[in-house]
Chains A and B, each alone.
Chain A
Amino acid sequence: MSVLVFVEQSEGKIKKSSREAVSYASAMNDGDVVALVMGTADGDQLATLGNNGAAKVVHSTDSRLDKGVIRAYSAGIAQVMESEGSDTLVMAESSIGNPVAARVSIKTSASLASNVVGLPDTSSGFKVKRSIYTGKAFANTILEASKRILILKKGAVPLKEDGAAASVESIDLAFDDSDFGVTITSQEKATGQVLLPEADIVVSGGRGLKGPENWGMIEELAAELGAATGCSKPVSDMDWRPHHEHVGQTGIKVAPTLYIAVGISGAIQHLAGVNSSKFIVVINKDADAPFFKAADYGIVGDAFDVVPKLIQAIKAAK
């Protein structure tokens, strides 16, 4: 038996969330971990997946797979589950992983669980805990089919980094024309930045910052911490910041170790996107802002006074 992991790359590097998925599969302790990479990739880098717990990396070098071709990835995964005899498929949540998992679950008649937050309990059946109601609750769900697919939330297990090198094998996969029926005409993507869903630290700004011209200090604080930047919904609605930075119920759900909220009131819909954070710091000039109730550390003060001081204090502590 083996556990298959679908591994994604971004800007030519294996995504950290995919390394986490390999670590998860390894911690399941349910047979060999096989990692599948589709599209052009650097062989040396692929072998490093062994570090995270993969025994073998299977690689399809077909360059048609370089762009996010959801149906082709799904077809490829179903073939490899079959050839490797994998009962379980694990992957990280992402704009590619989620739709791919949905399709593979139909192709392979597998039970599917998304938003998985911890390792399965296999004492009777195969049970996972998943986050529901936008992080406001959890469900303990049994996957009843003989095959299963798990989509992991960030932080479901700690990253494993003490394995050996993995063997890398190339594989030929068969596709239909319909697998490439969607044409990606162009992409607009921030490069060289810490991406919000992957970030360990997030610095977010709200309407309290008054305007887009004041984001300099938020970006500086983020750069000082190696953090990604986020914002509240009205901020992206007013185009102060791009839509993909909008955090909350109707935006990105983040799960960093540290979330710093500056000038955000803490409406329930915003909290829904941040309640999986390990620690929350709130900076707000109103001592009654609801966000303080959800915070671990709080400072009542004017952002334009506190944030520059915080940047100085972090520099001083380095």
Chain B
Amino acid sequence: MKILVCITHVPDTTSKIAFSNNNLEFDKTGVQFVIGPYDDYALARAVELKEQQGGTITALNVGEVETEPTLRKALAIGADDAIRVNTPALDSFFVATQIASVAKEGNYDLILMGRESIDFNGGMVHGMVGEILGIPSLSPVMKLEIEGGKAKLAREIEGGKEYLEVDLPLIAGCQEPIAEWKIPNMRGIMMARSKPLSVVEPSENNANTKTESYELPPKKGEVKMIDSDNVGELVRLLKEEAKVL
């Protein structure tokens, strides 16, 4: 089975978000970049499926040279090779067209992504790639089994989940508990150094959105503390001050 795993290079979940250059650019000062947490689930499931059934795993990122350590980490976790499409990730449409052209070349049975990136949180790229390629795309997937060219999955819906069956090829946007995150071991890190990481130039396509500026949410006011012996006061404030009851 040929598996493609799409990896984002995003600020660690504990990062403080700030902007520089008059709110025009993300401020990378002191920010640690990691594999997107949902992409980590996708990669972990890919490694398990390969262990069960054989095959190859290709890790893909659309991004500039600074994302290569993140791709190397994916190689250390268990991808066999990596591809970087050498361009800034302009918007979801642009990224989806780039992923789709790599996918067309490679003829993958399964394309695993994260449920969403944690920078733009669109949860859009998998559906877009699915539509461009004319194949099904399901997200957020919490369980994925492959048997004889068919996939059986569980997808989270509001207030519960649904179970689905579909033929490959398939795109899945992954989330827990699809697999346990894998931490690279020493041997994996050593091997990753010599695994192939190819850089391809973007296909000609344009973004169709443009972000003009960024802003931070307004600062929260001071918290009002209420004595635990006077809980009625909280109810009064919620009613009369906040007007939410």
Contacts and interface: CB of A to CB of B under 8 A. Distances in A.
Interface of A: 10, 68, 70-71, 74, 94-96, 98-103, 105-107, 109-115, 127, 131-145, 178, 181-190, 193, 195-198, 201, 225, 242-244, 249-250, 257-258, 268-269, 272, 275, 278-279, 281-282, 292-302, 305-306, 309-310, 312-314, 316-317
B208 A95 contact: no
A294 to B, nearest CB: 6
A198 B239 CA distance: 21
A310 B223 contact: no
B209 A138 contact: no
A181 B19 CA distance: 44
Interface string B173-184: 001110000000
B139 interface: yes
A250 B176 contact: yes
Interface in B224-245: 224-228, 231-232, 234-239, 242, 244-245
Given A98-B124, A182-B164, A314-B245, 19 more contacts: A95-B157, A99-B126, A102-B125, A106-B132, A113-B209, A132-B120, A133-B17, A136-B216, A183-B165, A184-B163, A185-B165, A186-B163, A189-B162, A196-B159, A243-B176, A297-B224, A299-B231, A302-B228, A306-B228
A288 B231 CA distance: 20
A275 B123 contact: no
Nearest to A185: B163
Contacts of A102: 92, 123-128, 130-131, 137
B200 interface: no
Contacts of A183: 164-166
Interface of B: 11, 13-14, 17, 19, 37-38, 92-93, 96, 118-128, 130-132, 134, 136-140, 142, 155-167, 175-177, 207-217, 220-221, 223-228, 231-232, 234-239, 242, 244-245
Given A138-B217, A144-B208, A71 B136 contact: yes
